[in-house]
Amino acid sequence: MKKIILILSLTFLITNLSADTPHFIDFTKVLNESSAGKKAQESLKKKFKSESEKFKKIEEDLKKEETQLISKKKNYERRGI
């Protein structure tokens, strides 16, 4: 009977000690090695690429508009308007 109580109390102490110790998850490893993480990364890369292309197009359009406005401004200044 004493052995059973000793075993139970040791088991109780070990489980309590392990519950108090912090556990950490390496999210980098999870993202790089799990199938869900790989799919998520691929999805993010595709979205980043499409958004990047969209912003490049907007940038080009704004640069064209800027040059047109500068050209118009110079024409008005030449005419004295």
Where do the domains of the chain lie? 2-79
pLDDT tens readout for residues 20-37? 566 677 878 877 888 888
CA distance 46 to 66: 30
Average pLDDT, the chain: 83
More confident residue, 1 or 66: 66
CA distance 2 to 5: 5
Contact 30, 37 (CB under 8 A): yes
* pLDDT given at position 13: 64
pTM (global) more than 0.75: no
The 3-state DSSP class for residue 35 equals helix
CA distance 46 to 53: 11
